[in-house]
Amino acid sequence: METATRSYLVTGGVRSGKSTHAERLLRDHPAVTYVAPGPVPDPAADPDWAARIAHHRARRPAGWRTVETGDVAGAVAAADGAVLVDCLGTWLTAQIDAADAWDAAADEVHALVLGHLDALTPALAAAAGPTVLVTNEVGLGVVPEHRSGRLFRDLLGIVNQRVAAGCDEVHLVVAGRVLVL
């Protein structure tokens, strides 16, 4: 698939095949900057999450460079070619964690996230090469019982809309199948 200076948002449910599809979009690029924006877990505290990260790392081509950072805008701006960001849900979590804002007023957390988006969207528009961003689709099921779950769902919905507005294509992945929206 040709990806010359195009941007893609790849969304879908958990374990839908989003990451695999996103990696395929960039498979013909010898050098890709893979941005992992989530918190770095303690393998002893969460061995399942550590195993998941190890699985993702193992399937990446050797020429891909991994950058673990919450500064997605900076990583995209610094890359000189293709970029894959996996994923915006972990990025959102890291931003709220870093600000210790889970218990802050919703409008304060919204302002925090919108400030980060104000830096991210122009960086995506100015990217030197194709950019693929992975995110979780939220809001298709039960309303979360806890405030933090509802806050996350609402904010990720806003993040997804804003990023999708700046992308050339949005791909929805369901059960390993891709629908171009």
Give the residue numbers marked as catalytic. Answer: 56
Q: Would you call 10 exposed, middle or buried from its count of C-beta atoms within 10 A (0-12, 13-18, 19+)?
A: buried
Helix (H) or strand (E) holding 6: none
**Number of residues that this document lists for the chain:** 181
Please tell me the distance from the alpha carbon of residue 9 to that of residue 61, in angstroms, as a whole number.
21
Amino acid found at 66: T
Q: Is 66 left (phi over 0), alpha (psi -120 to 50) or beta?
A: beta
